[in-house]
Amino acid sequence: MALVATGLTRSFGRHTAVAHADVTLRPGRITGLVGPNGAGKTTLLLILAGLLAPDAGSVEVDGGPIAASDLRARVGWMPDVFGTWESLSTTEILTTFARLHGASAADARRRAHDLLQLVHLGEFADKPAHELSRGQKQRLGFARALVNRPSILLLDEPASGMDPRSRIDLRDQVRELAADGCAILVSSHILTELSEMVDDVVMMTAGRTFVPEHRSGHLWRIRLAGQSVADAEATTFPDDDSAAEYLAGLIATGVRVSEFTRVTNELEDTYLALDAERT
pLDDT of residue 230: 87
Secondary structure class of 157 (helix, strand, coil): coil
pLDDT of residue 214: 66
Q: Helix, strand, coil: what percent of the chain each, to 5?
A: 40, 30, 35
Burial 168-198 (b: 16+ CB within 10 A, else e): ebbbebbbebbeeebbbbbbbeebebbbebb
Secondary structure class of 84 (helix, strand, coil): coil
| Nearest by Cα to 105 from 113, 118, 96 | 96
- Order of strands, edge to edge, in the sheet holding 64-65? 15-25, 3-12, 56-61, 64-65
User: What is the C-alpha separation between 265 and 38, in angstroms, rounded?
Assistant: 23
Q: For residue 246, how many other CB atoms are within 10 A of its CB?
A: 15
pTM listed for this prediction: 0.82
Integer angstrom CA distances of residue 204 from 35, 44, 184, 194? 5, 10, 17, 15
pLDDT tens per residue across all 279 residues of the chain:
799 999 999 999 999 999 999 999 999 999 999 998 899 999 999 999 999 999 999 999 999 999 999 999 999 999 988 777 889 999 999 999 999 999 999 999 999 999 999 999 999 999 999 999 999 999 999 999 999 999 999 999 999 889 999 999 999 999 999 999 999 999 998 887 888 788 899 999 999 999 887 666 778 999 999 999 889 998 989 888 999 999 999 999 999 999 998 876 777 777 777 654 554
